[in-house]
């Protein structure tokens, strides 16, 4: 048997520190579901999803009970739908979204991702039909999430698609104005989108994947925060604890958290007979008190999130999480890093309200963490080109730094900076962030075409 102190450390982590597996996401290939018409296609999609995921939720719940660790979300990611629906028109894509929504409900998953396209270099006629369908498709469904990859380090940025993004997001928010623009919370724009990310809204089942695969997203900001607090508490004398020791604590805690995710994921995979894909090592916060990435900033020494030092802290946190997780898991992938989704993290949202966290600082922080400008509520009056331009900056960070970046911006119709928006549940709440320099980027967005790939992408 293990030593008592090791046993107790694990007990603390599970019982008192919000340890959970944030998501088990089943990726399902739908490329073989294209039928002769939309009816046949929808029928095949439903059957295929049910055939793989019929017992998925029950199996996750069974493993969760067996090991005593909650699996918070059970999700499905499918092949980017623009590929599945090649040749279909806008209204057909809306039908596909509704079908996916029904399929998700029939198997009892929380969310389904993959209402997506990959247009980093160019757009087909189908891609344009798909983009045109996004506002209506997401307004007509509850569980479907959409994402689009408009940039890669290899290909640069598709500026035509980028220009469409601002307009799409505005239209989507306005179509769901009665829910404060909630539709926009289900749509994310990517650079270097991975095909095995289990987290929403950006989960897809990449075309490089097997027919079905299980990916796991671990959680654990609460566990890391408590571990750091304990370490600091045991070193009350100034000078007895340095930053490298705090980084080491994060690393070791992440190791344990990741191992739990791997254990549950592999157990579900074995039980369902579906290949295990990756563990995504991301630190994903929830609006629950004590489960915040923002809290870790304060524990590590800045009195306000967004104060100088915040980017450095996030860089260290992100790196330590990767180091701990990569050794813990046989296969890692997805986004793997710390998330800073403003609305989903109570302390980040609070920092927006206090004015300490602004868009520019968030953007700087996204240079050193996974993903990007995530779940940021902005005034509904901001014009489409400004939204596209904010996304352009975020895409450029990803392209140049060879990393995934994304933007999930919510222009809240009829509301201005400082007003509160609340989506409830895991989507959270936040004051609307004030933006500077609105309406000054239209000439840049109007160029269209492509922003060329950077010199360091040419490695052949």
Partner 1 sequence: MRKQMIISVMSKDRPGIIASITGAIYRLGGDVADLNQTVLCGYLTMILSVSFEPEVTKEDVLAAISHIKTDCKFEVSIKEVAHNPEETEIEPPETYILTVQGPNKAGIVHGISQFCFEHNINILDLATTLKNDQYTMALQLDLTRSASSVETLQKELEEYSRQSNLTVMIQHNDIFQVTNEVSLH
Instruction: Give the separation between CA 232 and CA 219, rounded to whole angstroms.
Output: 22
Residue where the block lists tokens 């506002």: 135
Sign of torsion, CA 392 397 398 400? positive
Task: Compare residues 21 and 371 and give the one whose CB is closer to partner 1.
Answer: 21
**Which residues in 428-457 contact partner 1 (CB under 8 A)?**
none
Query: What length is written for the chain?
Result: 460
214 DSSP β-pair partners: 26, 276
Verify binding: residue 304, partner 1, rule CB under 8 A.
no
Task: Compare residues 261 and 398 and give the one whose CB is closer to partner 1.
Answer: 261
* Binding track, positions 247-286, relative to partner 1; x by CB under 8 A: --------xx--xx-xx-----------------------
Selection from 76, 100, 96 nearest residue 86 by Cα: 96
Verify binding: residue 61, partner 1, rule CB under 8 A.
no
Total residues at interface with partner 1 (CB under 8 A): 26
Residue 298 burial by Cβ neighbours in a 10 Å radius (0-12, 13-18, 19+): middle
Residue where the block lists tokens 């994903």: 284
Task: Compare residues 8 and 446 and give the one whose CB is closer to partner 1.
Answer: 8
Which one of residues 46, 58, 67, 400 is an interface residue with partner 1 (CB under 8 A)? 67
Verify binding: residue 331, partner 1, rule CB under 8 A.
no
**Per CB under 8 A, which region of 7-15, 185-193, 209-217, 231-239 contacts partner 1?**
7-15
Verify binding: residue 330, partner 1, rule CB under 8 A.
yes
Which one of residues 47, 66, 230, 440 is an interface residue with partner 1 (CB under 8 A)? 66
Task: Compare residues 321 and 407 and give the one whose CB is closer to partner 1.
Answer: 321
Task: Compare residues 10 and 124 and give the one whose CB is closer to partner 1.
Answer: 10
Question: Shortest gap between Cβ of 252 and partner 1 (angstroms)?
Answer: 10
Residue where the block lists tokens 């057909």: 92
**Per CB under 8 A, which region of 5-13, 107-115, 284-292, 303-311 contacts partner 1?**
5-13
* Binding track, positions 18-57, relative to partner 1; x by CB under 8 A: ----------------------------------------
Question: Shortest gap between Cβ of 190 and partner 1 (angstroms)?
Answer: 31
**Per CB under 8 A, which region of 10-18, 179-187, 236-244, 316-324 contacts partner 1?**
10-18
Verify binding: residue 6, partner 1, rule CB under 8 A.
yes
Task: Compare residues 1 and 455 and give the one whose CB is closer to partner 1.
Answer: 1
**Per CB under 8 A, which region of 60-68, 102-110, 175-183, 415-423 contacts partner 1?**
60-68
Residue 308, C-beta contacts closer than 8 angstroms, at least 6 positions apart: 302
Verify binding: residue 71, partner 1, rule CB under 8 A.
no
Verify binding: residue 2, partner 1, rule CB under 8 A.
yes
Which one of residues 68, 236, 238, 239 is an interface residue with partner 1 (CB under 8 A)? 68
Residue where the block lists tokens 């088990």: 24
Torsion angle of the four alpha carbons 362, 363, 368, 372, in this order, in degrees rounded to the nearest 10? 90
Verify binding: residue 15, partner 1, rule CB under 8 A.
yes
Question: Shortest gap between Cβ of 280 and partner 1 (angstroms)?
Answer: 17
Question: Shortest gap between Cβ of 261 and partner 1 (angstroms)?
Answer: 10
Verify binding: residue 95, partner 1, rule CB under 8 A.
no
Which one of residues 21, 24, 45, 69 is an interface residue with partner 1 (CB under 8 A)? 69
Verify binding: residue 8, partner 1, rule CB under 8 A.
yes
**Per CB under 8 A, which region of 6-14, 121-129, 206-214, 318-326 contacts partner 1?**
6-14
Verify binding: residue 11, partner 1, rule CB under 8 A.
yes
Q: Note the residues at the interface with partner 1 (CB under 8 A).
A: 1-4, 6-11, 13-15, 65-69, 255-256, 259-260, 262-263, 328, 330
């Amino acid at each position: 048997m293990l030593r008592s102190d090791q046993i107790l450390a694990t007990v603390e982590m599970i019982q008192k520190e919000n340890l959970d597996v944030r998501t088990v996401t089943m990726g399902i290939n739908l490329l073989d579901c294209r039928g002769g018409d939309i009816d046949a296609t929808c029928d095949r999609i439903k059957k295929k999803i049910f055939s793989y995921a019929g017992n998925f939720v029950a199996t996750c719940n069974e493993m969760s009970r067996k090991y005593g660790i909650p699996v918070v979300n059970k999700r499905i990611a499918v092949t980017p739908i623009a590929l599945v629906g090649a040749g279909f028109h806008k209204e057909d894509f809306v039908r596909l979204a509704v079908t996916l929504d029904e399929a998700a409900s029939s198997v009892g998953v929380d969310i389904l991702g993959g209402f997506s396209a990959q247009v980093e270099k160019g757009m087909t006629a189908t891609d344009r039909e798909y983009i045109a369908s996004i506002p209506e498709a997401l307004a007509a469904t509850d569980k479907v999430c959409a994402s689009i990859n408009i940039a890669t380090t290899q290909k640069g940025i598709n500026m035509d698609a980028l220009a469409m993004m601002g307009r799409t997001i505005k239209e989507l928010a306005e179509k769901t104005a009665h829910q404060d623009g909630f539709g926009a919370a289900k749509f994310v724009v990517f650079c270097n989108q991975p095909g095995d990310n289990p987290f929403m809204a950006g989960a897809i089942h990449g075309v490089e994947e097997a027919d079905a695969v299980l990916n796991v997203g671990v959680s654990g900001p609460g566990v890391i925060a408590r571990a750091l607090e304990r370490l600091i508490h045991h070193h009350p004398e100034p000078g007895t604890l340095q930053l490298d020791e705090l980084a080491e604590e994060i690393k070791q805690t992440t190791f344990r958290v990741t191992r739990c995710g791997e254990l549950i994921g592999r157990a579900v995979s074995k039980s369902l007979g579906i290949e295990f894909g990756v563990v995504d090592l991301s630190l994903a916060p929830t609006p629950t008190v004590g489960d915040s990435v923002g809290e870790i900033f304060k524990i590590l020494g800045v009195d306000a999130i967004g104060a100088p030092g915040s980017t450095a802290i996030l860089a260290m946190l992100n790196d330590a999480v990767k180091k701990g997780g990569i050794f813990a898991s046989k296969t890692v992938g997805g986004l793997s890093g710390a998330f800073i989704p403003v609305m989903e993290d109570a302390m980040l949202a609070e920092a927006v309200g206090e004015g300490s966290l602004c868009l520019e600082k968030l953007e700087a922080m996204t240079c050193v963490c996974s993903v990007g400008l995530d779940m940021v509520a902005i005034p509904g009056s901001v014009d489409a080109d400004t939204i596209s331009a904010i996304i352009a900056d975020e895409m450029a960070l990803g392209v140049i730094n060879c990393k995934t970046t994304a933007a999930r911006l919510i222009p809240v119709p009829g509301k201005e900076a400082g007003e509160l928006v609340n989506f409830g549940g895991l989507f959270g709440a936040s004051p609307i962030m004030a933006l500077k320099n609105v309406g000054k980027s239209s000439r840049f967005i109007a160029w269209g075409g492509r922003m060329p790939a950077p010199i360091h992408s040419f490695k052949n």
